[in-house]
Amino acid sequence: MKRWTGIILLAWICLLLSGCDFWLNGSYSSVTPNQGNTTAGNQGDEEIYSYGDLREAMENMVELGVQKVTFSASRFDAKTLETYMQRVTEHIIANNPVGNFAVEQISYDVGSSGGRQAIGVNITYSRTKAEILGMPVVADMDEAVEQIQNALADCEASLVMRVQAYEQMDIVQMVQSYGAQNPHICVEIPQVSVSTYPESGIDRVVELSFVYKNSREVLRSMQQTVQDSFTAAQKSLKAEDTALVKIGKLYSYVMERHENTMDTSITPAYSVLRYGVGDSKAFAEVYAALGRWVGLDCETITGTRNGEAWCWNVICIEGTYYYLDLVQCWKSQTYQLKTFDQMTGYVWDYSAYGEDGPPAGEQIPTVPTEETRSPEEEAEGETLPQEPIPSEEATTPPQEPAPTEEIPTDTPE
């Protein structure tokens, strides 16, 4: 018994003298400099030959979400290693995008391992390894915008991505504009908050949160309803329909549910197409998106009408611009496709469109020549829009038998 006790004691003394203090202090893995596939659990310490090696190895460690490593650094004395580690730690936390985003604390010990000078590093993260490894990496802001648009289309609550060539952008305004341009995709425009890590520099982690009033399940259901409605509107058009005919048919499609109920909604496309409820902005944005869906060059104008905040549409046909105010057409029960000179009482949002109307600097319309209906339409007794002839008077609605005939509506469900 005494013999075995002596052997164990001797082995213990040899172990202490060998300098394997990191083995005794805990479980460490190694990170290989210049290799991006390092993971926890690697065997053996990797040699560090310079400050650059140490910095790169530490960045690899952080970007892989590794918690503990041991670096062998036999070429350096303890004081030099201490200085290098202080600099690298400050750099990782302050300047490295993933470090600034995900690292809470970096602790280290300078000692020896296997009789060689070494550094044992322990990193505490504020984010999970899955969050770190799961973030998409994009090259520039164009790719970043695509990621944001995909997140909006999927009604995601958040998005974290690394942008390697970050440029300053008003992302909140970009989301607002995208939602207004695509109400069939972004059925509710969320409240957006944006953080970047670090706050300066070209390479950054960008974190966005999207806050919706409706649940994701409800939003996806609304989104499907709106997209089904867009598809139905497209099917209502004929291949031979000219642009003017399409404009009139889409007007009837959008307004057929309207019962003169003017109200705002956080889900404008769904409210307009499902229940016929909206304000001038909702009707104009839905009509513009639907127009673009079927191939028309159609946009929404924001401005005032008789001093009241108002929205309406502008449609370009072969370089000539026409204007359509869906709500006013409905109120007057007269379909009116107007030229620029006929837009009395309307004031442009000059900051967005220019003083001469969209696009800035171009004069708008000459009156188009009359186009006749096709023999097929005459034979069928087509009652949806004839191609209107803009004039000084309000153009007649594209319906038969009478221009002022009330457009039928359905009772909101």
Mean pLDDT of 46-67: 94
What is the C-alpha separation between 52 and 23, in angstroms, rounded? 26
- Delineate the domains of the chain, giving CATH numbers in brackets: 17-127 (3.30.110), 135-213 (3.30.110), 217-380 (3.10.620)
Looking at the whole model, is its pTM more than 0.85? no
Q: Is 162 in contact with 135 (CB distance < 8 Å)?
A: yes
What is the C-alpha separation between 273 and 260, in angstroms, rounded? 14
Which candidate, 399, 396, 395, 412, places its Cα nearest to that of 260?
412
What is the C-alpha separation between 115 and 74, in angstroms, rounded? 9
DSSP 8-state class, residue 298: E
What is the C-alpha separation between 346 and 307, in angstroms, rounded? 8
Cβ contacts of 172 within 8 Å, gap of 6 or more: 192, 194
Q: Say whether pLDDT at 220 is over 70.
A: yes
pLDDT at 115: 72
Q: Say whether pLDDT at 25 is over 50.
A: no
Instruction: Give the range among 115-119, 143-147, 320-324 with minimum mean pLDDT.
Output: 115-119
Which candidate, 17, 18, 42, 16, places its Cα nearest to that of 28?
42
pLDDT at 45: 62
Q: Say whether pLDDT at 227 is over 60.
A: yes
Mean pLDDT of 302-320: 92
**pLDDT band, very low/low/confident/very high, at 44 (cuts 50, 70, 90):** very low
Residue 169 sits at φ, ψ, to 5 deg, of -150, 140
CA angle 18, 105, 62 (to 5 degrees): 80
User: Each residue of 367-399: pLDDT tens digit?
Assistant: 333 333 333 333 333 333 334 333 333 333 444
Q: Say whether pLDDT at 21 is over 60.
A: no
pLDDT at 3: 53
Instruction: Give the range among 84-88, 90-94, 331-335 with minimum mean pLDDT.
Output: 331-335
Distances in whole angstroms, Cα of residue 298 to Cα of each of 109, 267, 380, 383 = 65, 21, 29, 24
Structure tokens at 375: 């023999």
pLDDT at 348: 77
Mean pLDDT of 170-174: 97
| Percent of the chain whose predicted confidence (pLDDT) is above 70 | 73
Distances in whole angstroms, Cα of residue 267 to Cα of each of 127, 212, 221 = 34, 11, 12
What is the C-alpha separation between 165 and 171, in angstroms, rounded? 15
